[in-house]
Amino acid sequence: MLRFIRNNNYCKPTDLQVWSISISNKMVGINMVDNKSKIRKNPSKENPNRVEILMTEFVTHDVKRFIVEKPKGFEFLPGQATLLSIPKPKWENEFREFTFTSSNDDRVLEFTIKRYTEHNGVTKQLHLLEPGDEIVVHAPFGTILYKGRGVFLAGGAGITPFIAILRHLYKTNQLKGNKLIFSNKAVKDIILEGEFRQMLGDDLVLTLTEDDAEGYEHGMINKEMIQKYVKDLDQKFYICGPDSFVLGMKSILEKMGVREENIVGESFVIAGA
């Protein structure tokens, strides 16, 4: 069984080719969002599928990418998530939300998962799993879907729905005009820095709340930072991160005059994500 674990801080663009097995050029159009009947808003334990882990790899010091089998006929939209559980005694009834970071066209599923080691939770257990082990994937859900050109504001592991959406836009030549402002504590915490730099170029702003490093903004995303990089407020603003991040960003955007219907947000409801 293939096992591929590396301790680099981020994935270089060329690494993509190692794991991304796209079987078709036919893309699932982002505008499938219009097909409302397909979208489950809330987590669901329906449609459990035991799938084998094919590969794991560190993408930062505490975030791992998991490549797992994709159940036959399984479909999801970029930005959607699922409940995962571990089919082992004591863990099989612990369900946690994780976002698909692969494309619906890939033959495998990818998850990008940050572990919390301070207690024995599901993410700590997931990080202990190895190729050949199994996890249970359930029905896709979630409504943080692409609704048009905009600014993506992410805090920490809240980047995961945007990984899927931005990759999809890049593959389908629709990324131009979108911007990502991504907040982390330190350089070592930035998920997929290399890939984002390659896909987004000048449309990527990385800010660090603890580190002060050249080439990065310093401090939390605030009104001044948004004004510096975003001239047009009449576009979509996608927000994902811990509760406090989502509420903070919403409040800043509203005060700046962004229309409520242009704010698309999802909270990861987790401290310090």
Ligand X SMILES: Cc1cc2nc3c(=O)[nH]c(=O)nc-3n(C[C@H](O)[C@H](O)[C@H](O)COP(=O)(O)OP(=O)(O)OC[C@H]3O[C@@H](n4cnc5c(N)ncnc54)[C@H](O)[C@@H]3O)c2cc1C
Question: Per-residue b/e over 193-219, b at no fewer than 16 CB within 10 Å?
Answer: bbbbbbbbeebbbbbbbeeeeeebbee
Q: Which 132-161 residues touch ligand X, going by CB under 6 A?
A: 142, 157, 160
Window of 146-154, 174-182, 251-259, 264-272 that interacts with ligand X by CB under 6 A: 264-272
Backbone dihedral region for residue 122 (phi beyond 0: left; psi -120 to 50: alpha; all else: beta): alpha
- Position among 64, 70, 114, 138 found at the interface with ligand X (CB under 6 A): 114
* Residue closest to ligand X (Cβ): 121
Q: Which is nearer to ligand X, 113 or 205 (CB)?
A: 113
Q: How far is the CB of 117 from ligand X (least distance, A)?
A: 8
Site membership for ligand X, residue 122 (CB under 6 A): yes
Amino acid at 122: V
- Position among 26, 72, 119, 231 found at the interface with ligand X (CB under 6 A): 119
The residue among 150, 159, 147, 129 whose CA lies nearest residue 242 is 159
Q: How many residues does the chain have?
A: 273
Residue 270 vs residues 200, 232, 241, 244, 273: alpha-carbon distances, Å: 28, 31, 8, 9, 6
Report whether 112 contacts 55 (CB < 8 A): no
- Position among 99, 183, 184, 207 found at the interface with ligand X (CB under 6 A): 99
Report whether 187 contacts 213 (CB < 8 A): yes
Q: Which 162-181 residues touch ligand X, going by CB under 6 A?
A: none
Alpha-carbon torsion (249, 39, 35, 74), positive or negative: positive
Biggest CA pair distance of the chain: 53
- Position among 39, 40, 97, 108 found at the interface with ligand X (CB under 6 A): 97
- Position among 64, 70, 96, 167 found at the interface with ligand X (CB under 6 A): 96
Question: Per-residue b/e over 226-258, b at no fewer than 16 CB within 10 Å?
Answer: beeebeeeebbbbbbbbeebbebbbebbeeeeb
x-or-dash string of contact with ligand X, 14-53, rule CB under 6 A: ----------------------------------------
Q: How far is the CB of 269 from ligand X (least distance, A)?
A: 6
Site membership for ligand X, residue 68 (CB under 6 A): no
Q: Which is nearer to ligand X, 33 or 233 (CB)?
A: 33
Q: Which is nearer to ligand X, 87 or 272 (CB)?
A: 272
Site membership for ligand X, residue 256 (CB under 6 A): no
Q: Which 76-95 residues touch ligand X, going by CB under 6 A?
A: 81
H-only helix segments in 116-256? 122-128, 160-171, 193-200, 223-229, 243-256
Q: Which is nearer to ligand X, 191 or 206 (CB)?
A: 191
Scan for tokens 């990984």, then name that residue: 163
User: Site residues (CB under 6 A) for ligand X?
Assistant: 81, 96-99, 111-114, 116, 118-119, 121-124, 142, 157, 160, 266, 268-272
